[in-house]
A and B are shown apart, each in its own frame.
Chain A
Amino acid sequence: MAAPRLRGGLIQVEFSDDELCGRIAERDANAFELMVDRHQARSYRLAFSILGNEADARDVSQDAFVRLYEAAGRFDGRARFSTWFYRILVNLCIDHQRRNRWWKRLLPLAGPGDNPDEPAFDPPSDEAGPEGDAMLSQSVRRLRPALAQLSPQQRAAVLLQTQEGFTSREIAAVLNCSENTARVHVHRGIAQLRKLLRND
C-alpha cells in the first residue's frame, strides 16, 4: 500500500517497489522514472563492482532497467522486488563478461591488458587528481584486481553480501542456486581474496 509522507509541507504518496512495478507493467512512465530514481545508484554501483569499469557498468545497468520495463508484468511479487531486479542485473553482468572474454580470445590484436586470463578490471589510474587519490585508498587499489580474479558467481555473491547487505537466501535467489551454495560462493570468494591480498 502506498504510504503518505509529509515532505516540504506537501503530502507525497510513496509507492513500494512492488506497486511501482505493477504500474510499470501498465506502462506508467512516471512509475518507471521513480523506480530508476530509487535504484540507479545501487544498480550502477553493483555493476561497477562486478564489471570494474564505468562504461560497462553504465551500459549494463541501463540494460537492466530496460529489461525491468519489458518484464515488469512478469514480476509476481513472490520474491522481493530487489531480489528479482538484481537477478536481472547480475545475470546481465555475468553475460557481459562472458561475451567480452569470448571476443578477447578472438581478437589477436588485443593489447597487453586484454588477456582474458588477466583481471577484467581497469586498474585505477595513477594520474588521478588529489581528490581521486583520497577516494581510492591503498586497500581499495589492491582489492579491485583481486576481486577480478574471482569467478563471476563468487564475485557477485561477495558483493551482494557486502555492498547490498543481502542474506544468503537472497543471494541464492539472485544467483539461482541453493542457500548453501550461495554461502559456499561467499566463503570461497572471501578466502580467495584473503589469499590474493596476502600474496600481494
Chain B
Amino acid sequence: MAAKHPETELVPYLRGGLGTDRRALVEQHLEQCAQCRESAESASAILSQLSAAVAAVPAPDWVAYRADLRSKLLTARGEPADARGRSRSAVFRIPAFGWPSIAIGAAAAAMLAIVLVTHRGSSVQAPGVDQLELQTDIGSADVGLLANYRVVEHLDLLENYDVIEHLDELAPGDHQNHEASS
C-alpha cells in the first residue's frame, strides 16, 4: 500500500466519499506515509478556503434575474418578450407576426411568380399559327353565330368554346363529322 500513494482518493476521503473498505486502506496508508499526510493536510486547507469562497459569492438581484429569465424563455419559445424585461439575446427576436406568417407570404409570392411565368411561357410557346388570322376567323365565326342567334342559342355554350379553343387542332374531316353528328 505504501508503494502506491492513493493521491486521487485523498479528496474523496476528506469529503467522506469513500466506502468503508477504501477508507480503511487510505487511513492505513496515511499512518505510514508522511508525504500523503502532508498532501491531505494541505488539500484540507484548500477545501476550507473553497468553502469560504462559496460564501463570498455575491447574490444577484433575484427579481431582475427572474424577469430576465422569463424574457429569455419567451424569446426561446418564439413569443414576443416584454420590452421592459428584454434580454441581450432578445434583441434578435423575430417580429410579432412570427415566422409562419413570413413563410406563408413567401409561399404566396412564389406561387404568383410561378403562375405569371407559366402564363407568359404558354403565350410564347403557342402553336405556329398566324395569330391575326386566327383572331379574324374567330371574330367572323362569332358574327356568324350572332346572325343565327335563334339557332345557336340552343347549342351548348361550353362545347362552342371548346371548339374555338382547339381550332388549330381541327382537321377538315372533323368539321364534316361534327356537322353530321349535330
Report B's interface with A, CB cutoff 8 A: 7-12, 15, 17, 39, 42-43, 46-47, 49-60, 62, 65-66, 68-69, 72-73, 76, 87-88
Contact = CB atoms under 8 A, between A and B. Distances in A.
Given A162-B50, A183-B12, 4 more contacts: A57-B60, A66-B76, A159-B50, A168-B17
A63 interface: yes
Given A62-B69, A65-B69, A186-B8, A140 B43 contact: no
A96 to B, nearest CB: 13
Interface string A29-63: 00010001000110011001100001001110011
Nearest to B65: A58
B139 to A, nearest CB: 68
B65 A168 contact: no
Contacts of B8: 180, 183-184, 186-187
A48 B9 CA distance: 27
B54 A136 contact: no
A87 interface: no
Given A62-B65, A163-B54, A184-B8, A139 B49 contact: yes
B49 A143 contact: yes
The 3 closest A-B pairs by CB, nearest first: A183-B8, A162-B50, A187-B8
Contacts of A59: 88
Interface stretch (A3-11, A77-85, A97-105, A190-198): A190-198
B60 A58 contact: yes
A36 B60 contact: no
27 contacts: A40-B65, A44-B65, A45-B54, A54-B58, A62-B87, A65-B73, A66-B76, A69-B76, A135-B58, A139-B52, A140-B52, A143-B50, A144-B53, A147-B53, A162-B15, A162-B54, A167-B12, A167-B17, A183-B8, A184-B8, A186-B11, A187-B8, A187-B10, A190-B43, A190-B46, A191-B39, A193-B46
B57 A58 contact: no
DSSP class of B's interface residues: helix, strand, loop or mixed? helix
B72 A66 contact: yes
DSSP class of A's interface residues: helix, strand, loop or mixed? helix
Nearest to B50: A162
B60 A135 contact: no
B155 to A, nearest CB: 65
B69 A66 contact: yes
A48 B60 CA distance: 11
A41 B62 CA distance: 9
A32 B47 CA distance: 33
A51 to B, nearest CB: 11
Given A167-B17, A186-B11, A197 B50 contact: no
Contacts of A73: none
Contact of A58 (B15, B42, B43, B68): B68
A143 B60 contact: no
A36 B46 contact: no
